[in-house]
Structure 1
């Protein structure tokens, strides 16, 4: 049954092709950023980083890290 192998090879080739297409996209074309301006993305990312830093500070006992 060689067709099963052909299907698997075609699936692998298609997956690789899809990954290559995603690599070439600009940041505004990616799924998570569609319809957002640069300023909106910056604001969203900054808010996510603030939350992440707050979680880390709570975990470390509230002491700010000295980078």
Structure 2
């Protein structure tokens, strides 16, 4: 009988972990609209990453990936 309450707690924890994240098929968009939205988000993300890479390469060598603590 004690296992039943454990299952319920596990379900609550799993639901809390997922939260509001995840895919939501009920967003009211058609597949075409979803593709456009996602494509635009990917382009913005790539542009932001390219800008950061350009800033890191022109910023000198301090604080880059090559620094290691000893």
Under a length normalisation based on structure 1, what TM-score does the superposition of the two structures give?
A: 0.50
Q: Which has the higher helix share?
A: 1
Under a length normalisation based on structure 2, what TM-score does the superposition of the two structures give?
A: 0.48
Rg larger for: 2
